[in-house]
Structure 1
Amino acid sequence: MSEVTFNKGKIPETRLPNEDPSFEQKMKDLRDNESDDKRSMLLSLASKNPESIAIWCVLGLSSTERMESYAYFRVAYHRGLDSLRKNGWRGSGFVRWDHESNRYFLFALNQLAVISREIGDYAEAERCSLFLRQLEPSWDQLQIVSL
């Protein structure tokens, strides 16, 4: 289990657990792979660890189809919510970028906002943007464009 930090008079902060190191290395190796079967190899890896937020983000980044990327980031976001709840988050509190284990989830949420705006789903884009800034109030200063 990860940790939820409570400080007297302050908002709680949740840290997601780290990805399994060997799984993360396989994923990073595939992410840098430029072979024709990269997508099928990533999907195979996802089938071995469907709870991974990271693998769905990598699939989203690797896709050349906007709606396919959207779908992968949507899965990453929902896997992230599941993991947050499993690790003590109760619907409010910070999920900070400072903690490396939170980055895939926050990135997925940002990508959902970006793609939603691109496809004209402005209500979803606004909801995702607002939620992201509630979880990580420093998001705009971080200027994250990729993982």
Structure 2
Amino acid sequence: MTSFGDLLGPPPTLLTGDDEAESELLNGAAPAAVAAGSPTASIAWAYLAEAALDRVNGSAAADEAPAAAVEAYAYARTGYHRGLDQLRGHGWKGYGPVPWEHQQNQGFLRCVGALARAAKIIGEEDEYLRCLDLLGDCDPRAAAEVGLV
């Protein structure tokens, strides 16, 4: 049985994560340095995307907000694709549960959430909706966990 109650569906995909990158981030390392040293670590890209979104949402000057939104989009898209590579490497076929509660899945899911927010800001509604659908398919709680609902 999957974590979402579907007896016939695929089992949850549980990423192994990048313990070194996660430890560096938790110990205050610069996310850009972590991403440069561990470019496959979605969590580092999530940190970068979320920091850029923070600049869009108030701390950036009005003329800097569009650049920060595009920066957030690029970071989130990179982390999303690195996460997809990892998911596929763990047997994920493009569908099935990717539970939020598994900490190593959170980098990927946070990137999807950041990509959704950045897409919304730059007016890419289709991408925003695709990201929401993906989060819902991965884990019905994920959108709320990344602050989208």
What is the TM-score with the length of structure 2 in the denominator? 0.76
Mapped to 1, the partners of 2:86 and 2:76 lie a distance apart of: 15
1:118 equivalent to 2:121? Answer yes
What one-letter code is carried by the residue in structure 2 that aligns with 1:107? R
Give 1:143 shift. Answer: 4.3
Give 1:115 shift. Answer: 1.6
Q: Deviations over 1:42-79 (max 9, x none)?
A: 32322211111111111112233121111111111001
User: How much is the aligned-residue C-alpha RMSD, in angstroms?
Assistant: 2.4
For structure 1, the residue ranges without an aligned partner over 5 or more in a row are 32-40
What one-letter code is carried by the residue in structure 2 that aligns with 1:89? W
Q: Where do 1:117-136 residues align within 5 Å? A: 117-136=120-139
Mapped to 1, the partners of 2:146 and 2:127 lie a distance apart of: 20
Mapped to 2, the partners of 1:131 and 1:12 lie a distance apart of: 17
Aligned length: 131
Alignment partner of 1:58 out of 30, 35, 47: 47
Contact 2:69 2:121 in 1 (8 A): no
What one-letter code is carried by the residue in structure 1 that aligns with 2:48? L
Question: Where does residue 46 of structure 1 map in the other structure?
Answer: 35
What one-letter code is carried by the residue in structure 2 that aligns with 1:77? Y
Give 1:125 shift. Answer: 0.7
Q: Which moved more, 1:62-71 or 1:91-100?
A: 62-71
Contact 2:21 2:44 in 1 (8 A): no
Give 1:97 shift. Answer: 0.6
Structure in which a larger fraction of residues adopt strand = 1
Question: Where does residue 96 of structure 1 map in the other structure?
Answer: 99
Mapped to 2, the partners of 1:53 and 1:61 lie a distance apart of: 12
Mapped to 1, the partners of 2:139 and 2:104 lie a distance apart of: 14
Q: Which moved more, 1:119-128 or 1:130-139?
A: 130-139
What one-letter code is carried by the residue in structure 2 that aligns with 1:17? T
Over the matched positions of the two proteins, sequence identity in percent amounts to 31
